[in-house]
Amino acid sequence: MKTNHTAEEAKKDAAKGELKPKDAVRRILGAAGAEVSDKEAFWLGHHMERFVNHTRKHGELLEFPVAVEAYLTFFMQSKPADWQVDQLKQALVLFGRGTERWRWVRVGEKDPAGSWGLQIQAGPQGYVLRYRVKASGRNGVLVSAQGEVSPKGPPVELEAWLEGLRRAIRVSHYSIRTEQTYIEHVRRFLLYTGPVAAEELGEKQVQRYLEYLALTRRVAASSQNQAFSALLFFFKRVLVRPLGDMEETARARRGKKLPEVLGKEEVRRFLALTEGTGGLMLRLLYGAGLRLQECIHLRVKEMDFERGIIMVRDGKGGKDRTVMMPESARAALVQHFERLRLLWAQDRAAEVDGVWLPDALDRKYPNAGKEWGWQWVFPSKGISVDPRSGRSRRHHVSDNTLHKMVKQAAQRAGIAKTVSAHVLRHSFATHLLENGVDIRTVQDLMGHSSVETTQVYTHVMAKPGLGVRSPLDAG
């Protein structure tokens, strides 16, 4: 079989018309569910081989997302064309999908042919993708996408454990975001530990993984603690094996961070460059101090125009609270509700399924999801499949569009600070304190359990220290 293609060799083969993909590449594409021509498969395989070759040379890249990020950084150094970048990304997506649940493992001993290399060891499906290189380490080849299963047997029943974790999270009534985050952290941990028996998982593996996150991945303390929280939940609720003393000692120390805050003029310039539904949502984030998820989860019945308040249901920590409805946004909200009623009427005429309802309300009141009061204030444009029930319905708007709008508006406004949707909430609290609002009132509006959480905004006020003048300005 041919050795790994360089870019020049690939071009020569293309010129000769030799665009047959290797069997290993075809197996990967088949596992990924991709039906492509020989020519397209050939070039996708070319990118896959170069990616594997790069990963083999860097022994620390034993986690697929890390290996992808490192290779993309390396690939961009050659200043490729946009279409080349798109082709590479397509190849990596298909490679990851086709080798899902596989883990990079080193092959330490030379085989009879005198080569050594890297293999990707499969999960329950029993495939082994073996990558061998000559002793010189300069060239390599994808030998096979199928081989004997590891002598240790298949890795841990990863998907079964993740399904158990998913059920435990839903029993605890955690949010869908927490579910997604915990599952991803536990998945990465299980891929890191490799094919070990369930009884072998314990404090030693967790400690080693946390060290890997801190020393190799160099993640922030908050990300490390988030991963540890996910593992604590997994060991306690799924494996029924608490981690004992580690629960109190393994947390990473977080330094005291001050929130990013925009000035009042910066907020004015920023909001002036936003429009439409996204602009209305950003005005509510700043004008009412809402979190992004609280905003996109608003229901029609929670908007009280007569009293000028917004009822925030099931906020962070499962808490409810009321906030003011900004008077300057009232007219835009009225117009938005007129369009919303038309969309609701169209969905009822088209017999679209009702919106998602919390807890068991969908069973208790089967038609409540179709009622006006339960509709999302900011619905999506199209119908989508509910990730939990599998039913097709109109969900609330995605936050991705809003993130892009925030980034573009901040750039156009010439704001050098790191601006996110949550910065508007920080600015809301800070500007209220600057205007002389009592800190306890701000605490209630923000939904903080402790006033100490709210006090952080006193450190970023425009006039810290109760308006004390700098000695430089004292004359």
Which amino acids are annotated catalytic? 291, 316, 422, 425, 448, 457
**Chain centroid to CA 384:** 19
Q: How far apart are CA 182 and CA 165, in angstroms?
A: 8
Which structure tokens are listed for 336?
A: 């938005």
- DSSP one-letter string for 401-419: HHHHHHHHHHHHTT--S--
Distance (Å, whole) CA 350 – CA 156: 46
Alpha carbons 14 and 161: distance in angstroms, whole number: 45
Q: Are 28 and 98 in contact (CB under 8 A)?
A: yes
Integer Cα distance of 411 and 418 in angstroms: 10
Distance CA 176, CA 170 (A): 9
Structural contact between residues 55 and 67, judged by C-beta atoms closer than 8 angstroms: yes
- In sequence order, which residues have a C-beta less than 8 Å from that of residue 45 and are 6 or more positions away? 21, 22, 24, 25, 91, 142
Tell me how far CA of residue 160 lies from CA of 44, 166, 187, 190, 337, in angstroms.
31, 10, 11, 12, 44
DSSP state of 382: E
